[in-house]
Amino acid sequence: MTERRDVWITGVGLITCLGEGLEATWNHLERGDPPPYDDKSFAPYIVHPLAPVNFDQQIPKKSDQRQMEMWQRIGVYAAGLALGDAGLAGKPDLLDGTDLIVAAAGGERDTQADSGILTGMRKVAEPGRFLNERLMSDLRPTLFLAQLPNLLAGNISIVHGVVGSSRTFLGEESAGIDAVRIAQARIAAGQSDLTLVGGAYHATRWDVLLIFEESGIALKEAFAPVWDRGPHGGLVLGNMGAFLVLESSDHARSRGARPRARISAVSAGRNRRQPGEIEATLRQQWTAIAGKVVDRLHAAVISGAAGLEPATSAERQFLKEIGLPVRNTGTYIGHGVEAQFIANLGIGCGVIEHGKLFAPAGTGDGGSSPSGLSQVVVTSVGNWRGEGLGLIERVD
């Protein structure tokens, strides 16, 4: 076995309903103000909108913006913020060798075109021919490019010039956990020096609500913190883009980049979600990293609980067992599925930089902020699969 290298987070790019950038996000979290949410536009569903953003700042060419749908614009924007934060933006020599891992779902649909076809189809004798003809005439050629999951990565290459390797991991929360896990493992093993990893979620869309309504898990009751959504729970989706720059410590030192945190461990797991299995998987993952939590007096948990039951109660049980102070982010920024774990690692970097926790939200948040907080454990329990733990630490 070769020696494992230190992996740092040297850039964070974050945009959520709370604002743009880690600082704006942190300021809101520290105040503990209720988050912006919209319970009208998609009633009875609730969604977190995106904070106002001027896409021109990260995607200067309108022609590029036109070739993307919103999930891609959000992602390309957040990726640009992360590259800027890491001091890589506009540096082709470094970007040429920067690897890229994106966590994504499917792309966006043209819900108007879909609705038109469904409406028209009821009156026709040959539905097959009708569907073919209407698809040929109603679909925009560029829409396909917004439906291809790897075209967020493709657009990041085009707009920001990140052209090392490029992989897109598919499918719900596990994709986000695995994206960071593989990025960290590749750098630790010397297979990469520099990797941009992230995801984006465009939540304010009927077509994604349809996906979650099929499982009956989108929240339809009044907004409440993730811990307190009743026996059935409920998911509130949030618009967000979250990217991190991961870098070997040697590489970062050689170019004078400062670490926001060290990322020491990432583990991803799955189980069949039978009673007790979520806790069991999380315990197993915890055992694997517990030895690295050097000082329980200076460690805390940033929970990715999504407000679903019984998953959120199972996570709560596990968190009670390990006994560290807990704050959740889902109440504030909603659930960004593939992007959520990555966003929470970004917020974890804010916690480490400020050396303290932000305001609690709901009955599952607890424990007072340790002074000189230096280690953060980030959790994820996905909406149907995907248990994850990540450990980030202050670099002294």
Helix, strand, coil in percent for the chain, rounding step 5: 40, 20, 40
User: Binder to other proteins among 111, 254, 363, 368 (CB under 8 A)?
Assistant: 111
CB of 363 to other proteins, least distance (A): 28
Size of residue set near other proteins by CB under 8 A: 78
Going by their DSSP bridges, the two strands 326-328 and 299-303 should be labelled as parallel
Interface with other proteins (CB under 8 A), residue from 31, 54, 136, 291: 136
Nearest distance from residue 341's CB to other proteins, in Å? 12
Asked if residue 239 lies in contact with residue 48, where contact means CB atoms within 8 angstroms, the answer is yes
Per CB under 8 A, 125 contacts other proteins: no
Residue list 258-287, contact with other proteins (CB under 8 A): 268-270, 272
Strand partners, 13: 243
The tokens describing 36, both together, are 């912006």
Provide the minimum distance between the beta carbon of 382 and other proteins in the complex, in angstroms, as a whole number.
Answer: 9
Query: 47 by DSSP, 3-state: which?
Result: strand
Contact range with other proteins by CB under 8 A, out of 20-28, 155-163, 291-299, 368-376: 155-163
Q: If we measure between CA atoms, which residue out of 264, 243, 241, 149 comes closest to residue 195?
A: 243
The residues, any chain, with a CB within 8 Å of residue 49's CB and separated by 6 or more, are 17, 36, 37, 38, 204, 239
Measured from the CB atom, is 171 or 360 closer to other proteins? Answer: 171
Residue found under tokens 């209407």: 134
d(Cα 239, Cα 139) in Å, to the nearest integer?
25
357-376: which residues touch other proteins (CB under 8 A)?
none
The CA radius of gyration of the chain, in Å to the nearest whole number, is: 21
Task: Write down the least CB distance from residue 95 to other proteins, Å.
Answer: 9
Q: Which two tokens stand for residue 2?
A: 């070769």
Please spell the DSSP secondary structure of 12-24, one letter per residue: EEEEETTEEHHHH
The residue among 37 and 206 lying less far from other proteins, judged by its C-beta, is: 206
CB of 1 to other proteins, least distance (A): 5
3-state secondary structure of 237: strand
Comparison of 157 and 374: residue with beta carbon closer to other proteins: 157
Residues in region 242-261 near other proteins by CB under 8 A: none
Q: Is there binding between residue 118 and other proteins (CB under 8 A)?
A: yes
Report the alpha-carbon distance of residue 288 to residue 279 in Å, rounded. 14
In the chain, DSSP finds a helix count (H) and a strand count (E) of 15, 13
Interaction with other proteins in 159-218: which residues (CB under 8 A)? 161-172, 174-175, 177-178, 181-182, 185-186, 189, 191, 206-207, 209-211, 213-216
Among 150, 249, 284, 369, binds other proteins (CB under 8 A): 150
Please state the closest distance from residue 45 (CB atom) to other proteins, in A: 8
Which region among 20-28, 98-106, 193-201, 238-246 touches other proteins (by CB under 8 A)? Answer: 98-106
Q: Which stretch binds other proteins (CB under 8 A): 21-29, 126-134, 348-356, 373-381?
A: 126-134
154 and 367 in contact (C-beta within 8 Å)? Answer: no
Q: What residues numbered 302-361 form the site for other proteins, per CB under 8 A?
A: none
Least Cβ distance, residue 385 to other proteins (angstroms): 6
Is 189:4 a contact under the CB 8 Å cutoff? yes
For 331, the enclosing helix (H) or strand (E) is helix 330-333
Helix (H, G, I), strand (E, B) or coil at 381: strand
Per CB under 8 A, contacts with other proteins among 16-75 are 67
- Which range binds other proteins by CB under 8 A, 158-166, 226-234, 243-251, 318-326? 158-166
The window from 15-23, 133-141, 222-230, 345-353 that contacts other proteins (CB under 8 A) reads: 133-141
